[in-house]
Structure 1
Amino acid sequence: MVKRFAFKMFLKPGFRDEYKKRHDEIWPELEELIRSTGVYDYSIFLDEETNILFAVQKQKGEASSQDLGTNPIVQKWWAYMADIMETNPDNSPITIPLDEVFYLD
């Protein structure tokens, strides 16, 4: 079963280029970890007017990238990204799941 999962996060103002650079250079071990959960076709978009990041991913199975928070690789990535994103006290990005209200296949 394939699921789509969407959520939003918040980029600090002025960090668009740095955010893109860091994701263009995503660590291979992080990419492998995300893929190992069944996540694929994963995109993040930026609304530059609000600095809201909109992410959508497809998942094979029930797991998503949002289920990896106890993994040391993910925790290291969160710490790496914390200076340019709005985060929780544990450095995880503030993430708000979004309900799908329309889909055209």
Structure 2
Amino acid sequence: MQRMGNVLGIKPEAIVEYKRIHAAVWPEVLAMIAACNIRNYTIFLKEPENLLFSYFEYHGSDFAADAAKMAADPKTQEWWAICMPMQAPLETRKEGEWWAAMEDVFHVD
């Protein structure tokens, strides 16, 4: 199992709508997350900085393949088309990232 944390900005005017849609994520999107070996997926919001922090646990053996599978899913693409205009990627993210990956520096069970 691999723990993953990511950070992303959110446009202040979109916060209410972002919370609303994430209170009822489409079942097809949730099913694809599970099919891609992602568990314990959580998104946190930090205001007033307007940052989203995501945490999840990857239980598969090929994250790149599972990420590609998710990205190719039409329903996930539809969901992302709604979410992405609300988001504000960090300027410091790496090439190819939307959510900026974070380093795992500490964990205790």
- Aligned match of 1:19: 18
Q: Structure 1: which 5+ residue stretches go unaligned?
A: 88-92
Using the size of structure 2 for normalisation, the TM-score is 0.79
- Point out 4+ residue stretches in structure 1 off by more than 3 angstroms: none
- For 2:11 and 2:32, locate their aligned partners in 1 and report how far apart those are by CA, in whole Å: 26
Deviation at 1:8, TM superposition (A): 0.8
Deviation at 1:86, TM superposition (A): 2.4
| Match runs of 1:42-57 below 5 Å | 42-57=41-56
Instruction: Answer 1 or 2: which has greater helix percent.
Output: 2
What is the total number of aligned residue pairs between the two structures? Answer: 98
Q: Structure 2: which 5+ residue stretches go unaligned?
A: 90-96
Q: Secondary structure at the match of 1:26?
A: coil
Query: What percent of counterpart residues are identical?
Result: 29
Deviation at 1:79, TM superposition (A): 1.0
Q: Is the 8 A contact 1:30 1:74 kept in 2?
A: yes
- For 1:70 and 1:8, locate their aligned partners in 2 and report how far apart those are by CA, in whole Å: 22
- Aligned match of 1:69: 71
Deviation at 1:33, TM superposition (A): 0.6
Offset from partner CA, 1:21-73 (integer Å, 9 cap, x none): 10111000010010111111111001112111000001211338x81222212
Deviation at 1:103, TM superposition (A): 0.7
CA RMSD of aligned residues (A): 1.9
